[in-house]
Amino acid sequence: MKTRLLGSLEVSEMGFGTMSFASTYGASPDEGEAIRVIRGAFDIGVTFFDTAEAYGPFTNEVLVGKALGPVRDKVVIATKFGWNIDLETGERRPGLNSRPDHVKRATEGMLKRLGVETIDLLYQHRVDPDVPIEDVAGAVKDMIADGKVKHFGLSEAAASTITRAHLVQPVTAIQSEYSLWTREPEPEILPLCEELGIGFVPWSPLGAGFLTGKVDASTEFESSDFRQNSPRFAKDAISANQQLVDLIKEFAKDKDATPAQIALAWLLGRTPWIVPIPGTRRLERVVENIGAAAISLTPAEATELDQRSAEIEVRGARLPEAVLQYSYR
């Protein structure tokens, strides 16, 4: 697989998001199977893996550490801090917590769970309005000086926040939701990343599975699947949003590709410093997703897909309000 640069950090042009192994999409799979999929992704060229302390909490980092331990020197591991989690018990508490002392203690736990000496890329998962971003960036800068962290990132941050953080500690990557049905980063975030030399990592590049064309109004989600309570996955929203999937399928048919591959190829073609991190529990889907890198949309095709998709009004908020309120601060 080819590589791309997030700032100065070299990674595979397609990463792998591991959140789906942490009950986010229903009951977690068997650990052995999860390790097989993660290791399998590495075997076919993926070197960039994404996790977070909040996935579980904690259990996903342990899983990723086990899966990638034997190939640690050949991969880039990203993880995240920022939600208000009890660092002893893993209990979720309301709101966020990016106080510098908490961040530093949280990072120590991450290092142990991942079984690594240094975290390659450490993101603030959401911007804490109660802690100046300069203080957060300063805390990460201290850990970089101590050799515990290599690169600093922000997730779902506003342009002004990114700029302020970058003045204290250069930001390597921004991770925000971005896909053919979530275009919020385009007006401000992507131009700023280009100006500052920051990489961009789209999470949920396949719209939590919707853009694969395998979800329709008859789909039933497990009670623990976050989509069960997501406005964009309400029955009426799914039906209304089907026209976007139909459009993607048009292009997929012309390119002898799958809808997922077209959605990912569109992202890869936006800029050379975008690295999507699709997640899946199935190795055959990893293979399918990686196949997107071999699909080239002509400038005319990319423009047509871009324009026609932008004209479709997507029904439903992308996340429940309880989570969405923390974005773009």
* Residue 314: predicted pLDDT: 97
* Residue 303: predicted pLDDT: 95
In this predicted model, what pLDDT tens digit does every residue of 69-92 receive, in sequence order? Answer: 999 999 999 999 999 999 999 999
In this predicted model, what pLDDT tens digit does every residue of 91-143 receive, in sequence order? Answer: 999 999 999 999 999 999 999 999 999 999 999 999 999 999 999 999 999 99
* pLDDT confidence band for 50 (50 / 70 / 90): very high
Instruction: Answer left, alpha or beta for residue 113, where phi above 0 means left and psi between -120 and 50 means alpha.
Output: alpha
- Does the structure show a pLDDT above 80 at 302? yes
What residues are labeled active site? 55
- Give domain limits for the chain: 3-324
In this predicted model, what pLDDT tens digit does every residue of 258-287 receive, in sequence order? Answer: 999 999 999 999 999 999 999 999 999 999
Residue 163: CA count within 13 A, CB half-sphere: 9
In this predicted model, what pLDDT tens digit does every residue of 304-326 receive, in sequence order? Answer: 999 999 999 999 999 999 999 99
Instruction: Give the DSSP letter of residue 322.
Output: H
* Residue 62: predicted pLDDT: 97
- Residue pair 203/177 in contact by the 8 Å Cβ criterion: yes
* Residue 22: predicted pLDDT: 87
Query: pTM for the full model?
Result: 0.97
In this predicted model, what pLDDT tens digit does every residue of 21-40 receive, in sequence order? Answer: 987 777 778 999 999 999 99
In this predicted model, what pLDDT tens digit does every residue of 133-181 receive, in sequence order? Answer: 999 999 999 999 999 999 999 999 999 999 999 999 999 999 999 999 9
Q: What is the mean pLDDT of residues 35-58?
A: 97
Q: In 66-83, which positions are buried (b, 16+ CB within 10 angstroms) versus exposed (e)? A: bbbeeeeeebbbbbbbbb
pLDDT above 90 covers a percentage of the chain that reads 96
Instruction: Give the span between the Cα atoms of 321 and 161, in whole angstroms.
Output: 21
Token couple for 229: 């309570």
Q: What is the mean pLDDT of residues 189-207?
A: 98
* Residue 28: predicted pLDDT: 77
- Does the structure show a pLDDT above 90 at 224? no
Instruction: Give the span between the Cα atoms of 277 and 203, in whole angstroms.
Output: 6
Average pLDDT of the chain, as a whole number: 96
Burial label for 225, CB within 10 Å (0-12, 13-18, 19+), is middle
Q: What is the dotted CATH code of the domain comprising 3-324?
A: 3.20.20.100
Residue 188 Cα distances to 99, 158, 160, angstroms: 27, 8, 10
